[in-house]
Structure 1
Amino acid sequence: MACGTALVYDEEMMSYKLLWDDPECSIEVPERLSSSYKRLQDYDLVKRCIQLPVREATDEEITLVHSHDYLQVVKSTQTMNEKELKEISQKYTAVFYHQNSFRCAKLSLGGTLQLVDAILTREVQNGMAIVRPPGHHSQRNQGNGFCVFNNVAIAAEYAKKKYKLERILIVDWDVHHGQGIQYIFEEDPSVLYFSWHRYEHKTFWPYLRESDYDVIGRGKGTGFNINLPWNKVGMGNADYIAAFFHVLLPLAFEFNPELVLVSAGYDSAIGDPEGRMCATPECFSHLTNMLMNLAGGKLCAVLEGGYNLRSLAESVCMTVRTLLGDPLPRLTGEMTPCHSALESIQNVRAAHTPYWKCLLYNEIKSAHDPSSEGDSQHSSDQQQNFDTAMFDIFLDSHMKKIEFAVPPLRTCAVLPEGCCLALPDGVLVEEKTATREHIIACSSSLPNELLEKETMLATLGKMLVILNKLLEYQTMNSIVLSPDSSVCATFAIKHVLASPVKRLLCINIGDLGILHEFDNDGEYVCLNICGTYPTGMSNRQIYLKWTESPNEYSSFFYIIFCCILPLAYNYQPDFIIITTGSNRTIGDKDISLLISLLQGLANGRILTIIPETEPKLGQKLVKCLSDSPGEKHFGPHRAPSLENIQNLKEKLDIIEKEWKMLQCSGAVNDPQELRTKRLKNRNMIVMEQAKAQGQTVVGQRGRRI
């Protein structure tokens, strides 16, 4: 069974550079590789990965995508002098060649294919290729945008040919549109291509009409090309996460890929001179974690752009940490997507509604906001001014705040007497128990008769021990097989709310009565996923009605991405409790998927409570919690019923005003919100700089920021 994370790197790919003065190409420097690798070493991540040897790609592999004539052109650059290299480079757009370009391009592609082989032969679970030159702009007959051979596109064709794959997802989070990949697969329904990119109504490179949201593929490939254009700079963590929830992930889960390829460009991160965006490095941890729940976890990330060396290096490290299974850090900033981002999201969903079952019942029309135009240059100038002056100080301070500690134990389990689950390596079955007096002291909200049962006392005693381990971060997560889920949930909620935890998220699946309301005990939100709405709802209880007979083909992914995860990310909990009861309307795989995705929040601190009568479910969930290799097989999926969509829409209409991440329509926000958000992003960096220098920052009108 596959396990481990592969890393592809070879310093020889640094052996070419720009030989003449060209401001457009000068940012693509060899240090892009060395700075990323050095930072991986600083964090001791290299030695945790399985390093794969790099090989040269063959002519046959290159011509899976590129023409023979173009291959011969690149080969010919090996013997050219500087003048000839400049002349051949000028025949293409934003490309430079060097005598070593061909050799490095073959290594870049060969290293990518080595990674694909290792993942698909199950030698490793996932991996990242830190390679150069990049590839996503290059086309069949030409290089483009620093790219020589299209690494990711060739990797997809290679996987289809060698391993007979029928469905491949390519996610391009580079800030530039990967038009080369789009052109190659625009008529191919076996490849779902998603690209977000700075567009600004066709005023940003590569200035293509076909980069807009309504270009969705051709022929049999119609609907399989997803363009999400950013029409403003300054997009941040909330905008990127919202794009995943409301566009990419619903379509990707319906597509059900066999392999995920990521065109991992980090010019979409904060501080990059090309992107001028505000997403902090830890955002890429969350994006990676979400994609790891597709294709059984088979994910291959391949470096594309990224031109602020520090931002690039930190973002690469965040991606690799997540591939290794480390806890995810909390996202920075207010989780409210801006109006312009919502407008783009709404337009993409409208364009793809006829082609995807999960969008079938959406009443979405494309939006147009005239205020989105005409402000791009001002935004870019503003971003450039404070990036260059403050970014290094900001990022130093920001990265120091991110917790990288990994608890000594990932998963603890409380099992009933005589229960024999086949547990993965490293899972601790808790045998220690709190004293009867301690249990009773912590059980003031429970009826006394419940505490007279020895089995209940034994479970509560062990659960109290692991609750304290979770609160002290001695273990990341835990599962409890309980004689009474409602009693254990009530006990756990009470104990957590009495701790320093600020925000608790509870998710109850099925019929489950919490025995106490906790109205005056800290902040918590409770999501209840059930088949019927109960009477007497509290303002802290949100009921989501979902009626579906659990079976192999589930539509539960729909409610996860349009409601549960957006709300959870909006709330940013410090601790999560998940409980299952009777009469649940979602299956074991659905619960596993939900838990796997929620591990991106609360530093992974999740307590799961299920009835002891469901050992099969317990077996599946403990493997999911422990990140056991090969357990992330959640498909296939089907479209939700009209009844479920209508039930959910009624609920969303009520709660989306409070929970902004639930919104996916550009019509719900004031356009002024984007300008306010850009100012907040600027102020965040200013404050970090001031703190690092021991200064007080005074804003406009003399206010302290």
Structure 2
Amino acid sequence: KTHPSKTHSDDSMNKRACKIEVPERLTVSHEALVKNGLVDRCVSVPVREATDADILLVHSEEYLEAVKKTPFMTLEDLMEFTQQYGDVYFHPNIYHCAKLAAGAALQLVDNVMTGKVRNGMALVRPPGHHSMRSAANGFCVFNNVSIAAQYAKQKHGVERVLIVDWDVHHGQGVQYCFEDDPSVLYFSWHRYEHQKFWPQLRESDYDCVGKAKGAGFNINVPWNKVGMQNTDYLSVFFHVLLPVAYEFCPDLVLVCAGFDAAIGDPEGEMCATPDIFAHLTHLLMNLADGKVCAVLEGGYNLTSLAQSVCQTFQTLLGDPTPLPVNLDGPSALVLTLKVDCKFLRISAVLYCFHFIKYLSHFSPADLPTFELSTKRIKVVEEEERTEKVEEEKNTEEIVWPDPPKRVSPCVRTAVVLPDGVDCPDGCKRFTDLHPDPLLGKKLDTSGIMQAVLGLVLPLGYQYNPDLVLLVRMPDCRISESVWQQLIGILQGLAQEHTLVLMQVKQFGQLQ
């Protein structure tokens, strides 16, 4: 993300046109969805422009009125207007596009919260998670996801919103918006490199957890090196995000879906393959009764972007997740972790502290001593230096295999039932079977989710099974909700090849 030129000439402005946040990001993504037959399986939601009232849920009136004037500015005036802000490009049509981007997110929220669709994804430009109350930033004009979160609370009475930001850049605009709000849990992992990577903010570090009533509701995972892989992404979900998310118990999950965290991206320089986003999406779909709204943010390698978008869409559509690939066992950083998470918010946040410190190789003694601030830090770079660094970058092409093909079976669920028991709607009846009684032990539900997230899932993904077998005995004390969560979570393994054996008591007899 680089600054526009400081010159006011039209020719110079054209030469400095952004080379990575380009219209092709949307066209290649849509073309991939069409090619894979995914568009025909989706409900197309009409897009509307966000209203002033929508935008003012997050942004100041002064900022909105300033942006409204941009369609009528000359290129020279636009250049001068742009230079007030960091790392953003203004075009005469960007106000209209930004209203459509925010409005698309709101339309998606409306349709999900009213039950018209179960979940969805909005492919939008410009992105939004860097935009702040009174400032454009990082290609972002209006903060699409933050507006959607406030809108969901105001219009649909949503009490708790989880925002998951897997873009490779820190979404400081979202953090600033909700840092004192306990009704919104914001999670972000991002390339940080000890505050050397854009946006180079002290507030992006792991110890910035919110303030006032929002303390503990902001989680930052700063990557202090590049090349993070699938295992690292899953480990952070298992050990940091999901334990806190399940305790938070959101009514709605919003995803800042930036795919610059995928392999081949020039900004992220990470090594996670596109299929990992299928698993991350699946894990989030077990929260909030499946109400998940993903909104596109970054992603600048057109190949991995399109593949990642397709993987996310297929999971939202309910296709079985692919077999996990490139899992080299638990991360060495995870193996060194010896902190117990008690599923209390304070303990969970402390747990995150210790875990993220290991991930970042960052000692508290090394932290800068200046005060935290929500004031935007404007990054000033010399153009000559930026261009020189770009030229010196290794231009060797990164190659990775295409994601595995995902096929959804025509019959998704089959059941085996005793005689006289009706088959549930949506299931296919199998041949009647009366198995011998299975042996089992009473299972205390205390800490079951902790065991699943911290032990069963990491081991399961490492083992990579072809079949998942779950057995529930009559004296099992696991509640129905926990049992449903257990089944849903473990369906991320073995391409959803899951067999559930349930032994029940009926009229005093074992069936």
Q: What TM-score range do you get, normalising by the shorter chain?
A: 0.7 to 0.9
Question: 1:575 Cα shift?
Answer: 1.1
Aligned residues: 471
Counterpart of 2:402 (choices 388, 398, 401) is 398
Percent identity for Structure 1 against Structure 2: 50
Structure 2 residue aligned with 1:21: 15
Shift of 1:562: 1.1
Which residue of the partner structure matches residue 570 of structure 1? 462
Q: Which residue identity does 1:78 align to in structure 2?
A: P
**Per-residue Cα deviation, 1:621-677 (whole angstroms, up to 9, x for no partner):** xxxxxxxxxxxxxxxxxxxxxxxxxxxxxxxxxxxxxxxxxxxxxxxxxxxxxxxxx
Q: Counterpart in 2 of 1:429?
A: 429
Query: Amino acid of the residue matched to residue 484 of structure 1?
Result: D
* Cα separation, partners in 2 of 1:230 and 1:359, compared to 1, 3 Å: closer
Alignment CA distance shift 1:214-1:257 (3 Å) = same
Residue 605 to residue 485, structure 1, CA distance change in 2 (3 Å): farther
SS of equivalent to 1:138: coil
Distance across 2 between alignment mates of 1:184 and 1:305: 19
Task: Tell me if the contact between 1:177 and 1:196 (Cα under 8 Å) persists in the aligned partners.
Answer: yes
Superposition pairs of residues 189-268 of structure 1, within 5 angstroms:
189-268=182-261
| Superposition deviation, residue 581 in structure 1 | 2.2
For 1:54, which of 42, 47, 51 is the aligned residue?
47
Name the structure 1 match of 2:283.
290
Candidates 129, 133, 136, aligned match of 2:129: 136
Q: CA deviation at 1:558?
A: 1.8
Q: 1:164 to 1:346 in 2, by over 3 A?
A: farther
**3-state DSSP class of the match of 1:52?**
coil
Q: How does 1:77-88 map to 2 (within 5 A)?
A: 77-88=70-81
Deviation at 1:413, TM superposition (A): 1.2
1:602-621 → structure 2 map (5 Å cutoff) = 602-613=494-505
Q: How far apart in 2 are the matches of 1:310 and 1:27?
A: 13
Runs of 4+ in 1 over 6 A off after TM superposition: 359-363, 368-373
Specify whether residues 316 and 195 from structure 1 end up closer, same or farther in structure 2 by C-alpha distance, changes over 3 A only: same
Equivalent position SS for 1:51: coil
Correspondence for 1:558 among 418, 425, 450: 450
TM (normalized to structure 2)?
A: 0.86
Displacement of 1:112 in angstroms is 0.7
Query: CA 1:555–1:83 in 2, change beyond 3 Å: closer, same or farther?
Result: same
Q: Is the 8 A contact 1:353 1:362 kept in 2?
A: no
8 Å CA contact 1:78–1:98 kept in 2: the answer is: yes
Q: Secondary structure at the match of 1:228?
A: strand
The 8 Å contact of residues 199 and 231 in structure 1, kept in 2 or not, is answered as yes
- Is this contact kept in 2: 1:286–1:328, CA < 8 A? yes
**C-alpha displacement at 1:614, in angstroms?**
6.5
Does structure 2 conserve the Cα–Cα contact (< 8 Å) formed by 1:169 and 1:260? Answer: yes
Contact 1:346 1:367 in 2 (8 A): no
AA paired with 1:565? L
Task: After superposition, give the CA deviation of every residue in 1:528-573 in whole Å (9 maximum; x if it has no partner).
Answer: xx54xxxxxxxxxxxxxx534xxxxx75322211111111111110
1:409 match: secondary structure: coil
Q: Distance in 2 between matches of 1:329 and 1:109?
A: 32
CA distance in structure 2 between the aligned counterparts of 1:340 and 1:30, rounded to whole angstroms: 38
2:270 matched residue in structure 1: 277
> Are the equivalent residues in 2 in contact too, given 1:354–1:360 (CA < 8 A)?
no
Assess, with a 3 A threshold, how the Cα gap between structure 1 residues 167 and 176 changes in structure 2: closer, same or farther. same
Deviation at 1:297, TM superposition (A): 0.5
Could you say which residue in structure 2 is the equivalent of 1:636?
Answer: none
Mapped to 2, the partners of 1:368 and 1:75 lie a distance apart of 46
Question: In the alignment, what sits opposite 1:419?
Answer: 421
Q: Tell whether 2:471 aligns with 1:579.
A: yes
Alignment of 1:88-237 (within 5 A): 88-237=81-230
- In the alignment, is the contact (CA less than 8 A) between 1:235 and 1:341 conserved in 2? no
1:485 Cα offset (Å): 4.5
- Take 2:138 and 2:306, find their aligned partners in 1: how far apart are those partners? 21
Q: 1:369 to 1:67 in 2, by over 3 A?
A: closer
Q: 1:363 to 1:166 in 2, by over 3 A?
A: closer
Amino acid at match of 2:217: F
Sort the Cα spacing of 1:88 and 1:555 in 2 relative to 1 into closer, same or farther, 3 A. Answer: same
Q: How far does residue 584 in structure 1 lie from its aligned partner after superposition?
A: 1.8
1:33 — aligned with what?
26
8 Å Cα contact 1:251/1:356 also seen in 2? no
Task: Give the 3 Å change call, closer, same or farther, for CA 357–78 of structure 1 in structure 2.
Answer: same
- Other structure's SS at 2:260 match: coil
Distance (whole Å) between structure 2 residues aligned to residue 605 and residue 578 of structure 1: 11
Q: Cα 1:612–1:371, aligned 2, differ >3 Å: closer, same or farther?
A: closer
Taking the aligned partners of 1:368 and 1:319, their CA distance within structure 2 comes to: 29
Question: What do residues 559-594 of structure 1 show as CA deviations (whole Å, max 9, x unaligned)?
Answer: 211111111111110111111224323222222211
Question: Structure 1: which amino acid aligns with 2:402?
Answer: H
Larger Rg belongs to: 1
Q: What secondary structure does 1:107 align onto?
A: helix
Structure 2 CA distance for aligned equivalents of residues 274 and 199 of structure 1: 12
User: Aligned ranges for residues 289-688 of structure 1 at < 5 Å?
Assistant: 289-339=282-332, 355-356=345-346, 367=357, 385=394, 388-391=395-398, 394-395=399-400, 397-399=401-403, 402-421=404-423, 423-425=424-426, 427-431=427-431, 459=433, 482-486=434-438, 511-512=439-440, 530-531=441-442, 547-548=444-445, 555-613=447-505
The CA distance in 2 between the partners of 1:346 and 1:262, in whole Å, is: 30
Distance 1:151 1:355 in 2: 28
Task: Please say if residues 273 and 384 of structure 1, whose CA atoms lie closer than 8 Å, have aligned partners that are also in contact.
Answer: no
**Cα distance in 2 between the residues matched to 1:185 and 1:614:** 50
What amino acid is the match of 1:581? M
* Cα distance in 2, alignment partners of residues 88 and 259 from structure 1: 36
Normalising to structure 1: TM-score of the pair? Answer: 0.63
CA contact (8 A) 2:247 2:344 kept: no
The 1:176–1:128 alpha-carbon spacing in structure 2 relative to 1, beyond 3 Å, is: same
Per the alignment, do residues 175 and 485 of structure 1 end up closer, same or farther by CA in structure 2, a change over 3 Å counting?
farther
Output one character per residue of 1:272-306: Cα deviation in whole Å (capped at 9) or x when no partner: 00000011111000000010011111010000000
Q: 1:149 to 1:608 in 2, by over 3 A?
A: same
8 Å CA contact 2:207–2:353 kept in 1: the answer is no
Residues 299 and 59 (structure 1), Cα distance of their counterparts in 2 relative to 1, 3 Å cut: same
1:650 is aligned to none
SS in 2 for 1:20: helix
| Letter aligned with residue 396 of structure 2 | A
CA spacing shift, 1:361–1:485, aligned 2, 3 Å: farther
> Residue deviations 1:318-346, cap 9 Å, x none?
00000000011111113434445778x88
Compute the displacement of 1:372 (Å). Answer: 7.3
Q: 1:614 to 1:200 in 2, by over 3 A?
A: farther
SS in 2 for 1:410: coil
Q: Please provide the CA RMSD for this pair.
A: 2.9
Tell me the SS of whatever aligns to 1:263.
Answer: strand
Kindly provide the CA deviation profile for residues 231-278 of structure 1, in whole angstroms up to 9, marking residues without a partner as x: 110011100000000000000000000000000000000100000001
1:108/1:132 contact within 8 Å kept:
yes
Residues 292, 298 of structure 1: 8 Å contact kept: yes
Cα 1:126/1:384, change in 2 over 3 Å: farther
Structure holding more helix per residue: 1
Distance 1:384 1:235, change over 3 A: farther
Residues 335, 569 of structure 1: 8 Å contact kept = no
Read off the aligned partner of 1:134 and give its amino acid letter: P
Partner secondary structure for residue 50 of structure 1: coil
What SS does the aligned partner of 2:69 have? Answer: helix
